[in-house]
């Protein structure tokens, strides 16, 4: 509800619910913990549960923790601190904050907006998957617990559905019954009658076929002289582990269970064949899967309901969504640590492979994960901080959120690697071979675990409720970033925020519909790779250049003093400036250069994305990246042209630089408001008095 008296001079309308806030134009958080929990919920997301552990075992186990910690100290914490500080100081969203800090960097706001929009589309699709699994958990028998469904494969070319529970029951039957001593687990079930066994015996090349890699040596006469290359050829399994060249079928004396490498868990088949109905590639998009489309609609409806009043509603929801995942995580950790084989997974997790530290891709992955983990450069932190009171303690919040986020990842690693060790023990494979991608860790490994826990439907519901709340927190901030960008750009629409929220959610739903198609899983991984990786690194680098070199590191430190009295000693100040001016931007720049120079086409398991898809991925990535230089060149050229009409070129250049590289009056507006408020309240502890601050307009 609005009131005619609340109309502003610029035509915007000041909502009634903001009347008691310090910032009556945009509003503030209603409670002291609202921002902290929102920030923690935004940072602690799905990436902590599956992406961090996956990167650990992909990049040398415990060795990954070394570059991860270094990147946290020299990139993550500085960028996190910088973003919430400037957002709180200016009380502006990412679309407008950069253009007011230095108008030449106006394109950075557009980059933030576009990056958040792309991520928000596919992130809500993951939330839709969790909703589907939540409903699937309301049953006495989980549908992914066995291979007796219509979609399960009896025996495809290289994979066979494999249920660990049924496999163990078959082993018990074979060991304890003389009549079924020839029983084997194959075709998704335990086979003991003669007809089924004869079917396998009559077609060994089909049921035990494999791909044999023949090695060709530099010197055929001396096979110790290195391997030149390998060539895949048709092969045959002689037992559950050994694949040899074809033609040796006669060496198979007796039938045996599904070979280890052909085993595809029932949970994996359920995810790929029942939930996603996954096609063979992005070229085969197929039709919309309506069960996923309805779940996606439900996800956007939840987002709409939680954001209908902006931070006034989402700030209350996070009291539950930011704390509930920890409750579930510790319960699962306590259960997972006592699983058979869990110690193997933990050993892989904490014992580093130091040889991997020489691989630059490990360091690059650590840096990207820090941006994902702390949600830096996505615009969400600036958005959340822009609703803070001016004198909120950003140093305290940075320490709590950064430590809380990274400790969550570390603790989640123990729970997840315990599960991976258990599954590796059950499947008879190495830990690193249990799951092939990050998505599979959340929607394959854990669902498979809960099928062997008493009360499996309850534990399944609890786990996916945790994933749902983890994703919801992050999606709140992503969508709020988009909303704040729109409303800061067009403040006259603030009185119609409910309508704007509805429009954003509707557009997001329709943009996400391609992800519900049969090829949607490929599109999701495609967006995750191109929309969030390079753009976020580039945005982080540009933010550091803007704040430290254009706006000025001294001005930034003065602003920090005015916000919360931040005034480090000489040594701390020197280290602070060295990190911001040299270490942080240099690390990001090196990582970007290495990533681009070592680029390889995107893959998903064995599938290689076509060149057209990768080319389109570059377009998506560089929409955000090129927005910064393109807008800068346009603004500089047009401003210089206007100034050159009335001034000599040298004076025109000076005026152009002054207009585009210095803060606007809007940048200092929130600080001015806080200064006047402090003066009225007689508060001189904030740092405004007795200190010359070039970043602040004085009365």
Which pLDDT tens digit goes with each residue over 585-629? Answer: 999 999 889 888 888 888 887 788 999 999 999 999 999 899 999
Answer whether residue 553 shows pLDDT above 90: yes
pLDDT at 45 over 90: no
663 CB burial (10 A radius; 0-12, 13-18, 19+): buried
Which residues, in sequence order, are bridge partners of residue 603? 608
Give the model's pLDDT for residue 112: 86
State residue 233 phi and psi, 5-degree precision: -140, 155
Annotated binding site: 41, 43-44, 48, 373, 405, 470, 473-474
Asked if residue 158 has pLDDT above 70, the reply is no
Best mean pLDDT range from 312-316, 377-381, 573-577: 573-577
Q: Which two tokens stand for residue 588?
A: 């990001």
Residue 190 burial (CB count, 10 A): 21
Structure tokens at 294: 């309805």
Close Cβ partners of 88 (under 8 Å, ≥ 6 residues apart): 385, 386, 388, 390, 392, 394, 563
Contact 40/326 with Cβ under 8 angstroms?
A: no
Q: What is the mean pLDDT of residues 308-327?
A: 66
Angle at 365 between CA 605 and CA 123, to 5 degrees: 65
Looking at the predicted structure, is the pLDDT value of residue 511 above 90? yes
Residues in a beta bridge with 235: 210, 245
Exposed / middle / buried, residue 465 (Cβ in 10 Å: 0-12, 13-18, 19+): middle
CATH of 38-139+271-630, one of 3.40.50, 1.20.1740, 1.10.150, 2.60.40: 1.20.1740
Rg (CA), the chain: 29
60: left (phi over 0), alpha (psi -120 to 50) or beta: left
Is pLDDT larger for residue 105 or for residue 215? 105
Which DSSP string corresponds to 305-345? HHHTTTHHHHHHHHHHHTTHHHHHHHHHHHHHTTSTTHHHH
Q: Are 482 and 497 in contact (CB under 8 A)?
A: no
What pLDDT is stored for residue 338 in this prediction? 84
Q: Determine phi and psi for 263, rounding to 5 degrees.
A: -75, 120
Q: Which residues contact 659 (CB under 8 A, 6 or more apart)?
A: 103, 639, 643
**Tokens 């950003």 label which residue?**
394
CA gap 185, 375 in Å, rounded: 46
- Residue 653's H or E segment, with its range, is helix 649-660
pLDDT of residue 503: 94
Q: Is-contact 371 83, C-beta < 8 A? A: no
pLDDT of residue 222: 57
Give the model's pLDDT for residue 667.
93
Q: Is the pLDDT of residue 39 over 60?
A: yes
Plot region of 226 (φ>0 → left; ψ -120 to 50 → alpha; else → beta):
left
218-268 per-position pLDDT tens digit: 665 555 556 666 677 888 888 888 888 888 888 888 888 888 878 888 888
- For the cut 50, the answer to whether the pLDDT of residue 56 exceeds it is yes
- Give the confidence band of 14 by pLDDT, cuts at 50, 70, 90: very low
The answer, yes or no, to whether residue 441 has pLDDT greater than 80, is no
Please tell me the distance from the alpha carbon of residue 130 to that of residue 296, in angstroms, as a whole number: 10
pLDDT-derived band at 310, boundaries 50, 70, 90: low
Distance CA 658, CA 639 (A): 11
Q: To the nearest whole number, what is the mean pLDDT of the chain?
A: 83
- Residue 562 host element (H or E): helix 553-564
The residues near 634 (Cβ < 8 Å, ≥ 6 apart) are none
pLDDT band at 699 (very low <50, low <70, confident <90, very high): very low
Record the pTM. Answer: 0.82
Q: What local confidence, expressed as pLDDT, does residue 556 receive?
A: 95
Lowest mean pLDDT among 360-364, 427-431, 594-598, 675-679: 427-431
Share of the chain above pLDDT 70, in %: 87
The tokens describing 319, both together, are 């009291």
Distance (Å, whole) CA 316 – CA 37? 9
Q: Which residues contact 682 (CB under 8 A, 6 or more apart)?
A: none
Mean pLDDT of 106-125: 90
Furthest C-alpha separation in the chain: 102
Q: Please write the tens of the pLDDT for every residue from 189-222.
A: 888 888 888 888 888 888 888 887 776 666 655 5
At residue 271, does pLDDT exceed 80?
Answer: yes
Q: What angle do CA 372, 68, 423 make, to 5 degrees?
A: 80
Q: Which has the minimum average pLDDT: 24-38, 268-282, 525-539?
A: 24-38
> For residue 297, how far is the Cα from the chain centroid?
21
Buried b (16+ CB within 10 A) or exposed e, 545-570: bbbbebbebebbbbbbbbbbebeeee
Q: Are 489 and 96 in contact (CB under 8 A)?
A: yes
Which of 6-20, 81-95, 158-172, 325-339 is the least confident region?
Answer: 6-20
User: Residue 131: which pLDDT band, with cuts at 50, 70 and 90?
Assistant: very high
Phi/psi for 590 (5° steps) reads: -60, -40
Mean pLDDT across the stretch 495-517? 92
pLDDT at 245: 84
Q: Do the bridges between strand 603-604 and strand 243-245 make them parallel or antiparallel, or are there none, so unpaired?
A: unpaired
Instruction: Look up residue 260 and give its DSSP letter.
Output: G
Q: Which of 593, 623, 618 lies closest to 530 in space, CA to CA?
A: 618
Mean pLDDT in residue range 508-516: 96
Q: Give the residue ranges of the annotated binding site for Na(+).
A: 41, 43-44, 48, 373, 405, 470, 473-474
What pLDDT, on a 0 to 100 scale, did the predictor assign at position 544? 95
What is the Cα–Cα distance from 144 to 449, expressed in whole angstroms?
11
Domain edges within the chain? 38-139+271-630, 160-267
Query: 224 or 654, which is more confident?
Result: 654
Structure tokens at 185: 């687990």
- Check pLDDT > 90 for residue 656: yes
């Amino acid at each position: 509800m609005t009131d005619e008296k609340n109309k502003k001079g610029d035509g915007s309308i000041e909502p009634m619910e903001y009347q008691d806030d310090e910032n009556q134009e945009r509003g503030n958080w209603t409670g002291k913990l609202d921002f902290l929990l929102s920030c923690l919920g935004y940072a602690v997301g799905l990436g902590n549960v599956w992406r961090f552990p996956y990167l650990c075992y992909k990049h040398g186990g415990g060795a990954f923790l070394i570059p991860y910690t270094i990147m946290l100290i020299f990139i993550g914490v500085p960028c996190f601190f910088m973003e919430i500080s400037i957002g709180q100081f200016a009380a502006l969203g990412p679309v407008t904050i950069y253009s007011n800090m230095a108008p030449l960097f106006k394109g950075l706001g557009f980059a933030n907006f576009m990056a958040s929009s792309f991520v928000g589309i596919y992130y809500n699709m993951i939330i839709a998957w969790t909703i589907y699994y939540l409903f699937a958990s309301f049953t006495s028998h989980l549908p992914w617990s066995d291979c007796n469904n219509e979609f399960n494969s009896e025996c495809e070319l290289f994979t066979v559905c494999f249920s660990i529970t049924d496999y163990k029951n078959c082993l018990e039957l074979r060991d304890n019954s003389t009549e079924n001593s020839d029983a084997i687990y194959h075709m998704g079930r335990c086979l003991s009658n003669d007809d089924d066994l004869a079917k396998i015996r009559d077609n060994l090349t089909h049921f035990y076929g494999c791909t044999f890699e023949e090695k060709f040596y530099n010197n055929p006469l001396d096979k110790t002289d290195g391997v030149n290359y390998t060539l895949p050829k048709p092969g045959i399994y002689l037992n559950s582990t050994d694949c040899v060249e074809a033609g040796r079928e006669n060496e198979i004396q007796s039938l045996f269970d599904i070979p280890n490498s052909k085993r595809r868990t029932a949970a994996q088949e359920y995810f790929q064949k029942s939930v996603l109905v996954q096609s063979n590639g992005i070229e085969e998009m197929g039709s919309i899967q309506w069960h996923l489309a309805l779940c996606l609609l439900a996800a956007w409806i939840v987002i709409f309901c939680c954001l209908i009043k902006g931070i006034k509603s989402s700030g209350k929801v996070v009291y539950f969504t930011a704390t509930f995942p920890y409750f579930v995580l510790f319960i699962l950790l306590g259960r997972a640590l006592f699983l058979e084989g869990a110690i193997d997974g933990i050993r892989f997790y904490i014992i580093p492979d130091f040889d991997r530290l020489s691989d630059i891709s490990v360091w690059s992955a650590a840096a990207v994960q820090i941006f994902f983990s702390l949600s830096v450069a996505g615009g969400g932190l600036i958005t959340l901080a822009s609703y803070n009171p001016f004198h909120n303690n950003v140093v305290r919040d940075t320490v709590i959120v950064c430590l809380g986020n990274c400790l969550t990842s570390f603790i989640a690693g123990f729970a997840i690697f315990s599960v991976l060790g258990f599954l590796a023990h059950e499947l008879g494979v190495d830990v690193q071979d249990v799951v092939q991608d990050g998505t599979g860790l959340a929607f394959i490994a854990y669902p498979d675990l809960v099928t062997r826990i008493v009360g499996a439907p309850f534990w399944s519901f609890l786990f996916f409720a945790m994933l749902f709340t983890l994703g919801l927190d992050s999606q709140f901030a992503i969508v709020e970033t988009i909303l704040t960008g729109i409303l800061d750009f067009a403040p006259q629409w603030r009185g119609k925020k409910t309508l704007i929220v509805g429009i954003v959610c509707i557009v997001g739903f329709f943009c996400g519909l391609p992800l519900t198609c049969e090829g949607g899983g490929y599109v999701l991984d495609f967006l995750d790779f191109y929309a969030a990786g390079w753009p976020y690194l580039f945005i982080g680098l540009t933010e550091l250049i803007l704040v430290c070199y254009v706006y000025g590191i001294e001005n930034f430190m003065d602003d920090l003093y005015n916000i919360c009295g931040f005034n480090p000693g000489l040594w701390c100040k020197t280290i602070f400036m060295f990190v911001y001016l040299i270490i942080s931007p240099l690390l990001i720049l090196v990582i970007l250069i290495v990533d681009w120079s070592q680029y390889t086409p995107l893959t998903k398991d064995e599938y290689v994305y076509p060149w057209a898809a990768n080319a389109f991925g570059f377009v998506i990535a560089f929409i955000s990246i090129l927005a910064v230089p393109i807008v800068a060149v346009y603004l500089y050229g047009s401003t210089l042209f206007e100034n050159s009409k009335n001034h000599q070129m040298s004076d025109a250049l000076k005026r152009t630089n002054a207009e585009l590289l210095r803060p606007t009056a809007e940048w200092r507006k929130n600080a001015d408001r806080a200064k006047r408020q402090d003066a009225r309240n007689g508060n001189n502890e904030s740092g405004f008095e007795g200190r010359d601050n070039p970043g602040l307009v004085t009365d």
